[in-house]
Amino acid sequence: MENKQLQKTLGASAALSTVVGMVIGGGVFFKPQAVYELTGGAPGLGIIAWILAGIMTITAGLTAAEVSAAIPKTGGMMVYIEEIYGKRLGFLTGWMQSVLFFPATIAAISVMFGQQSAILLGNESLVIPMTVGVILFIGILNSFGSKTSGVIQTVSTICKLIPLVLLILFGFIKGSGENAIMTPLVSEGLKPAGVIGQLLVAILFAYDGWINVGAIAGEMKDPGKDLPKAIIGGLSLVMAVYVVINLAYLWVLPANELAQYASPASAVAESIFGPVGGKFITVGILISVFGCINGYLLTGPRITYTLGTQGHVPKFIGKLNKHDVPANATLIMASLSALYALSGQFNLLSDLSMFAIWSFYVLTFIGVIKLRKSHPNIHRPYKVPLYPFIPMVAILSGLFVVINQLFFAGINSTIMSLGGIIATLIGLPVYNYYENKNRSKDIEIDKKIAA
């Protein structure tokens, strides 16, 4: 369905709240551990990086929204890139999302769910069963229709706000406020320039979801005027929440202690509310994370399903079950996610997903400039402000993330990034195989008609 057929009912405030709901997820509860570990237990550069990542996200959202509004089709980034660069690159986008981005993201969040569930239950042997179990359980749930998924999303949205509000409010009330906030930037022996790239990659995981912002353009009364307000206002609000909650964490525990906990939020909650109160907050975080996993397992398989309907992967992947949901695509993605999750590496998996997706975000940003030149008269209900400055900032930010992960973030990141590139490029022979197969079938049909 085209966006132009949608009801134009959203004003600026409704769009702003939609943006906030799309972006705030589980990353803010867990990522401070990686942030302060990278800074060597120093707080300053970590706080600055949360702000910088927010600014990068705002420029990215403002830029990508122009493409979304100019190409009002469902399918997201895969469709945008196909329209701008051609079918082969469009397929590679969907392939990358299907084999890397969504499975790695689902696996990363599920690892944290498994670890925190095991701690809550007091049995570390349950980490892997809980991690894999939650993925497969949600995958099966999503095979029975979207109504259940909608209920889960509603409940989890409420539950993610409760821990955020309580941690911010009582963090400042009950915390000592004696811990360092902005100094030092990094610990002795580290250089800010050497770790800022890795910090941004880690933090951008918490900001992910902004690419969906442009999809609401078709439902806005005045997207040209209100969409930039919603993006700037919504993402600025998200950035403010993330910075404030990190200040609240530091108000309670020093950065070098936060670096030692897989879930800094739970550690802060226990320090504020005691063991019982801490467990209550952890339950709220787990429900929020459950909803995040559900959201990704609801949206991700739709892309894999689309590849199946296009005939570029086995056809059974592009079939709906009796509940009219892409169950085959969902269970395949759940299984691949569970396989990734066996690594137990939250930060490695989340960094892999960010490297993979930001590589294609850059193509989307460049696509804004390309589309302006190739189709200057196309209807654009929204145009990125301060063109071409903001698109260039978005492009350079994206290139910084990708190049840093590939060359400057250490041997493990380089190996992981190269593995991601190889996994993405495997999509080319897959595409060529099915494209030739489909072409041969078309030729045979034409011959039969001619005969």
Of 227 and 285, the structure prediction assigns the larger pLDDT to: 285
The sign of the CA dihedral 293, 61, 205, 203 is negative
Supply 254's token pair: 């020093």
- What is the CB-side half-sphere exposure of residue 289 using CA atoms within 13 A? 30
Q: Is 305 helix (H, G, I), strand (E, B) or coil?
A: helix
Give, in degrees to the nearest 5, the angle at Cα 81 between 432 and 309: 55
pTM here? 0.91
Q: What is the pLDDT of residue 93?
A: 96
For position 426, which CATH number holds?
A: 1.20.1740.10
Please write the tens of the pLDDT for every residue from 3-53: 344 466 677 777 777 778 778 888 899 999 999 999 999 999 999 999 999
Contact 344, 127 (CB under 8 A): yes
Read off the pLDDT band of 333 (50, 70, 90): very high
Q: Is 220 helix (H, G, I), strand (E, B) or coil?
A: strand
- Residues 6 or more apart in contact with residue 353 via CB below 8 angstroms: 100, 101, 102, 104, 105, 108, 205, 208
How many Å apart are CA 440 and CA 427, to the nearest integer? 20
Render 380-449 in DSSP notation, one character per residue. -S---TTTTHHHHHHHHHHHHHHHIIIIIS-HHHHHHHHHHHHHHHTHHHHHHHHHHHHHHHHHHHHHHH
- What is the CB-side half-sphere exposure of residue 293 using CA atoms within 13 A? 32
Based on C-alpha coordinates, what's the Rg of the chain? 22
Domain with 76 in it: 3-450
Q: What is the pLDDT of residue 37?
A: 96
The pLDDT mean for the chain works out to: 89
Residue 379 pLDDT > 60, yes or no? Answer: yes
Render 153-210 in DSSP notation, one character per residue. HHHHHHHHHHHHHHHHHHHHHHS---S-SS--SS-TT--HHHHHHHHHHHHHHHHTTG
**pLDDT mean over 354-360:** 95
Supply 429's token pair: 């022979």
Q: What is the pLDDT of residue 103?
A: 97
Number of domains in the chain: 1
Residue 102 pLDDT > 90, yes or no? Answer: yes
Distance between first and last Cα of the chain: 37
Please write the tens of the pLDDT for every residue from 67-100: 988 887 767 899 899 999 999 999 999 999 999 9
Q: What is the pLDDT of residue 75?
A: 73
How many Å apart are CA 8 and CA 19, to the nearest integer? 17
Q: What is the pLDDT of residue 25?
A: 80
User: Residue 147 class from Cβ within 10 Å (0-12 exposed, 13-18 middle, 19+ buried)?
Assistant: exposed
Contact 105, 358 (CB under 8 A): no
- Which range is least confidently modeled, 21-25, 291-295, 317-321, 439-443? 439-443
Q: What is the pLDDT of residue 4?
A: 40
Read off the pLDDT band of 2 (50, 70, 90): very low
Say what angle helices 264-309 and 223-252 make with each other, to 10 degrees: 150
Please write the tens of the pLDDT for every residue from 138-197: 999 888 876 676 777 778 778 788 899 999 999 999 999 999 999 999 999 999 998 999
**pLDDT > 90 fraction of the chain, expressed in percent and rounded:** 64
Name the nearest CA neighbour of 171 among 261, 258, 249. Answer: 249
How many Å apart are CA 356 and CA 254, to the nearest integer? 33
Q: What is the pLDDT of residue 190?
A: 93
Q: What is the pLDDT of residue 214?
A: 66
